[in-house]
């Protein structure tokens, strides 16, 4: 029997096939990691949105003059509008921290009175969380009108 007539794989073919297989498996691992990371991010955004919605539901049950939605800037609309983005406890009109299964969230409520028109309040709810070393925010804006009594 002649050596040229033998069937089978050479060592080089086997090494190349193993390299292609390893590269494909590595690609699947990276894809799984990216998908898991994306799901975790989506979960934290959903939780933050739920916390903001819950806070807005509570705010809508409050009286127009309640302390939680009182502007601490002294009624100056220009200052109040600048203060709508306050995300630290002393500067925000109201703040609280909530810990849920996904982590710790800081909730800030800022109010601008008589904006966009008299007898209304623009209320901005910001839910902040630390995600992989970066602060991420979910922000909702609402307008609450003063009820006119007869």
User: Does residue 72 lie within any of the structural domains?
Assistant: yes
Asked if residue 101 belongs to a domain, the reply is yes
Residue 90 resides in a domain: yes
Q: Is residue 4 part of a domain?
A: no
pLDDT tens digits for 99-121?
987 689 999 999 988 888 889 99
Whether residue 132 is contained in a domain is answered as yes
Interval 44-82: pLDDT, tens? 999 999 999 999 999 989 999 998 898 887 666 666 677
- If one counts the domains in the chain, the total is 1
Distance of CA 70 to the CA centre of its chain: 25
3-state secondary structure of 101: coil
Q: What is the percent of the chain where pLDDT is above 70?
A: 90
| Domain hosting residue 59, numbered range | 11-145
Angle made by CA atoms 87, 100, 45, in degrees to the nearest 5? 60
Whether residue 44 lies inside any domain: the answer is yes
């Amino acid at each position: 029997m002649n050596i040229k007539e033998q069937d089978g794989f050479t060592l080089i073919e086997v090494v190349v096939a193993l390299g292609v297989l390893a590269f494909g498996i590595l690609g699947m691992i990276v894809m799984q990691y990216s998908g898991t990371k994306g799901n975790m991010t989506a979960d934290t955004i959903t939780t933050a949105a739920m916390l903001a919605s819950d806070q807005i539901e509570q705010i809508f049950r409050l009286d127009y003059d309640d302390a939680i939605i009182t502007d601490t800037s002294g009624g100056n609309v220009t200052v109040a509008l600048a203060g709508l983005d306050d995300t630290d406890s002393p500067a925000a009109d109201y703040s609280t921290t909530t810990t849920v299964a996904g982590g710790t969230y800081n909730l800030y409520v800022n109010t601008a009175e008589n904006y966009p028109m008299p007898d209304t309040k623009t209320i901005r709810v910001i839910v902040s969380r630390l995600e992989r070393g970066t602060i991420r925010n979910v922000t909702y804006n609402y307008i609450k009108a003063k009820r006119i009594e007869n």
